[in-house]
A and B are shown apart, each in its own frame.
Chain A
Amino acid sequence: MERREALKNIATLIGVTAATALAMERFNFLARCTNKSDKNYFSESEQKIVSEISGMIIPTTSTPGAIEAGVPAFIEMMLQDCYRKPEQESFQKGLEDVEAKANALGNDFISLTPEQKRTVLTQIESEALAQSSNPPSQVKPPTNDETKTLTNKPRPPVPSFWQLMKELTLLGYFTSEIGMTKAMVYVPVPGRIEAIKIKSDQKAYSEYTDRLW
C-alpha cells in the first residue's frame, strides 16, 4: 500500500497515469510474490502453532471457538492473499520466535503444558506492545499549512506477529458464521430500528459493514 502510494506520487509528478503507476507497482510486486493461496503455505508444524494460538485467543467456551470457525485456514489464506512480503516475513519471524521461546522452556510449542503456552503468548504480547513505540493515534488537528494528501502519508510500521495473529483471528472468528450467529446475535433483516434497554447477559448484535472499520 505505502509503496504503491510512493510510486504513485512519483508517477504523478512526472505526469503518468494512475494505471501506469500501478502497472509499475504490479511488475515490482509480481517479481517477489505469487499471490496464490496455497493450502501448504505453512509447514505442518507451523499450521499446528497457528491453529493452537488462534484457539488460545478465541477458545471454545459455551460457544464454539476459533478452530471450529475455521480460523486457522482463514489466516493461512489471508496472509497470502491480502498481505505483502513485510507482513508475511513478520509473521514468519513470529512463528520462529514462538518456537524459540518454547524451546527455552524445554520443549516445542505444541508439546508445552497449557500453562507454559499461556506464558509464551503473554510474553509475546508484552514484547509486541513494548515494540509498538508509537502510542495509538496521538494526533492533533492539522495545522493550516498542512495539506497532506494520501500520497505522502507516513509509512506505518510493519505490524508485529502478535498484531497480525490477533487481527486475523478476531476478523476470522467474528465474521464467521459461528462467530456471528453463535457467539453473537445475527439478525439479517431487522425490519425496524429502535432504542432498547439491554437485558442481563445481553449479547451484541453482529454487525458487518461493507467498509473497513
Chain B
Amino acid sequence: MNSFDAIVIGSGITGGWAAKELTEKGLNVVMLERGRDIKHVSGYETANTPPWQFKHRAKMTLDVQQDYATLVRMGYGQESNRHLFESDKDHPYIEKKPFDWLKGYHTGGKSLMWGRHSYRWNKDDFEANGREGIGVDWPIRYEDLAPWYSYVERFVGISGMKEGLDVLPDGEFLKPFPMFAPELYLRAQVKSKFKRTVTIGRSANLTDPQPWHSETGRASCQNRNLCLRGCPFGGYFSTQSATLPAAMKTKRLTLVNNAIVSEIIFDEKKNRATGVRVIDAETNKVTEYYAKIIFVNAGTIPTASVLLRSKSSRFPNGLGNDSDQVGRNLMDHNGGPLVTAKIDGFEDDYYYGRRPTTLYVPRYRNWGSDKQPYLRGFGYQGAASRTTWTRGLHEKGFGAEFKDELTKPGPWSIFFVGIGEMLPNPNNRMYLDSDKKDKWGLPLVVFDVEFGENEKMMRQPMGDDMVEMLTAAGFKDVRAMSIPMNPGFGIHEMGTARMGKDPKTSVLNQYNQIHACKNVFVTDGAAMASSSCVNPSLTYMALTARAADFAVGELKKQNL
C-alpha cells in the first residue's frame, strides 16, 4: 500500500513541479511534506486581514524576537506571516560561522513566500566555471535548458519586458508591470549615459492570465502586494496555486503531510534506492514508502541532510557522496550595499495599486568588453516610490500641519540593492553534527560558510556603480549604506549536491541523477554548480521539468 511509481520529497517550488510533471506523464506519485498542510485560499489565514487587526502591527514582541531570532534578523516575522516560518526554538541549527537559514515547513514550502523574481540564466552562466577553472564545469549548456525555461515560464506566468540582451535572455512573458515616471526617466538616463539597462522585474505574478492559468483556478494579480501571506486569488505562482492543483487533477498524486524523511533506503543487491523511511512529525511513528524513482526536492539544505543521513555499506558517507561533495560548495547570493537617493520633481506623478515587484538592472560587469579584477558580476533590484507617512519619523515637527503633510504623497525616493554572484568553494559547507539532535532524533545541521575574496572585492563596486548612476541621473542625496548580511540572507542557498561531468568531483549527472544511484534525482537548489547573479528559482523549475521528462523516458525504456 505504500508503493508508488515515484516518491517526491518536499512540496516546495521544485517538489510541486516534480509532482505535476510525473503525474501528468502517468506515474503514481506520493509527495512527502515534512510540515503541516496549508490549503490554497482557505489556509491563508491572514490574507484578508486589514493591518489594524494585527495587534503589534509590523513590530514583533520580545518573545517572538527571541524564538525567531534568525527570522527577525532577516527582517521577517510579522504577525501577518509568521505562521509561515519556523522558529529557531523548534528548529535549531549550529552556526560555526554565521548563517541565516530561513525555513518554511508546510505544503508549498517557500513557494508561498518567495520573492517571485524569475530570470533565465545566460549562456555564460553555464560556461564560466569550465572556462575559468572554478568549481566544476556544468554538464549542460543554456541550449539544453532553453526549451524547458519556455515550458515552465508559460505555466508559471511571468510578467516582464523583452530587452534583447544576451546577459539576461528574454523568456515567454506576460504583460509587464508598469514602470513609474522617475523610473522611466532613470531607464533613459542609464541607457544613454552608461549603455546599461533598467528594466521592470520579471515576476511570477499573473498580469494577463492565459487559459491554462485559469484552468488551475488562478486569477489576475490584484496588486495588493500582500503576496507573503498566500494569495487567495492565485495571483502569483506557488505549489498551491498552480502545480498542486495540476497534479491533483490527474488523480495520481498522494500528498502526505508531517512526513519527515529520515533517510533514503538503498538496496545493496539491487544497487538502487528502493524507498524512504519517514518519521511522522506529530506521532514519531516510522513508516516506509517504496517507489521506482525518488525525486529529492526538500530544499538545498534539507536535501543534502537527507543524503548525508542515508548511510549504507555502499555509501558510508551518505547516499551519492562518493565525491565527498554533498553539503559542500554551499552558495548564496552576495548582497551589496543599499543605495538610496531623493528625487526632485515628478510631483504630479503617482500610482494607483501596489506593484508586487521591483526594477531590475541586469549585470554589465565582466560582460562584453568590460574587465574587472574580480570574476563574474552582479545585478540590482530596487524601485522608486513616493515616500509614505514613515518620513515623519525622521522629520521635525508635530501637530495639525505635520499630520496634514504626512497624509499626502511624499517626495519621490529610490533605492537599489546589488545582488552578486558567489563562487562555489568546497570549504563552504554544511554538515551534520555528530552529537546534537533535533526533537525527532535527527542530527542538527552545522554551517561553516563565509563569503570569499571574490565576493568581497565585488561589494565596493556594487555600491559605487549605483551611486554613480543615480548621481548621473541628477538624483539628490545619493547614499550607499552597508547592510551587514550573513550568507543565507539572500535565501538563495544552493550547490550542496552539484551537477557535473565527473562522478569524482560532483554528485549529480547532466539529468540530475545521482551518479552512482541512478533512480534518485535531485532537482532543487542543491544541484547548482554555480550561482549566477540572478534569482535562481526559475532555473530549478526548468531543471526539474527536464529531469522528470528524462526520468519517465528512462522508466519507459526500462533503464531505471
Contacts and interface: CB of A to CB of B under 8 A. Distances in A.
Nearest to B418: A141
Nearest to B463: A141
Given A1-B65, A81-B56, A208-B51, A17 B94 contact: yes
Given A12-B98, A170-B390, A210-B58, A143 B460 contact: yes
Interface string A7-19: 0100010011111
A157 interface: no
A209 B58 contact: yes
B63 A35 contact: yes
Interface in A155-191: 166-167, 170-172, 174-177, 180, 183-184, 186-191
B61 A22 contact: no
Contacts of B351: 193-196
A19 B92 contact: yes
Contacts of A56: 398-399
Nearest to B395: A166
B352 A141 contact: no
A211 B352 contact: no
B460 A205 contact: no
Given A22-B88, A141-B460, A210-B226, A197 B403 contact: no
- The number of chain B residues touching the other chain, given as a range, is 35 or more
B459 A144 contact: yes
Contact of A149 (B177, B404, B486): B486
B225 A57 contact: no
Interface string A50-70: 000000111101010100000
Nearest to A57: B398
B57 to A, nearest CB: 5
B78 interface: yes
Contact of A189 (B181, B222, B389, B393): B222
A140 B93 contact: no
Contact of A193 (B89, B223, B402): B223
B141 to A, nearest CB: 33
B81 A210 contact: yes
B178 A193 contact: yes
Q: Which of A146, A187, A195 has its CB near the most chain B CB atoms (within 10 A)?
A: A195
Nearest to A58: B403
- The number of chain A residues touching the other chain, given as a range, is 35 or more
B352 A150 contact: no
B96 A12 contact: yes
A191 B233 CA distance: 11
B180 A195 contact: yes
A106 interface: no
B69 A196 contact: no
B470 interface: no
B482 interface: yes
Contacts, number: 250
Contacts of A196: 349-352
B75 to A, nearest CB: 5
Nearest to B180: A195
B359 to A, nearest CB: 14
Contact of B436 (A5, A17, A125): A17
Interface in B170-187: 177-178, 180-181
Contacts of B58: 171, 175, 208-213
Contacts of B463: 141-142
A145 interface: yes
B269 interface: no
A82 interface: yes
Interface stretch (B259-267, B450-458, B552-560): B450-458
A183 B51 contact: no
B401 to A, nearest CB: 9
A65 B304 CA distance: 55
A152 B225 CA distance: 33
B403 A183 contact: yes
Given A121-B398, A210-B80, A22 B89 contact: yes
Contact of B396 (A15, A125, A151): A125
B479 interface: yes
A35 B393 CA distance: 26
Given A153-B484, A183-B403, A210-B80, A141 B56 contact: no
B230 to A, nearest CB: 11
B479 A137 contact: yes
Given A22-B88, A183-B407, A198 B459 contact: no
A20 interface: yes
A105 interface: no
Nearest to B52: A177
A192 B356 CA distance: 11
A15 B444 CA distance: 12
Given A190-B222, A193-B351, A148 B484 contact: yes
Interface in B345-360: 347-355
A187 B72 CA distance: 28
A195 B93 CA distance: 46
A20 B410 CA distance: 45
B388 interface: yes
Interface of A: 1, 4-5, 8, 12, 15-22, 25-26, 29, 33, 35, 56-59, 61, 63, 65, 77-78, 81-84, 118, 121, 125, 129, 136-137, 139-153, 166-167, 170-172, 174-177, 180, 183-184, 186-198, 202-213
27 contacts: A5-B73, A8-B69, A16-B94, A17-B93, A18-B69, A18-B92, A19-B89, A57-B398, A57-B402, A82-B56, A125-B398, A137-B481, A141-B464, A146-B456, A174-B406, A176-B52, A180-B50, A184-B407, A188-B48, A190-B354, A191-B353, A193-B352, A196-B350, A197-B349, A198-B349, A209-B225, A210-B229
Interface of B: 48, 50-52, 55-63, 65-67, 69-70, 72-73, 75-76, 78, 80-81, 88-89, 92-98, 177-178, 180-181, 222-226, 228-229, 337, 347-355, 386, 388-390, 392-394, 396, 398-400, 402-404, 406-410, 436, 444, 450-451, 456-457, 459-460, 462-464, 467, 479-482, 484-486
3 interchain residue pairs of minimum CB distance? A141-B463, A193-B353, A19-B92
Given A82-B62, A210-B228, A213-B390, 8 more contacts: A143-B460, A167-B393, A171-B58, A172-B57, A176-B52, A183-B403, A195-B180, A196-B350
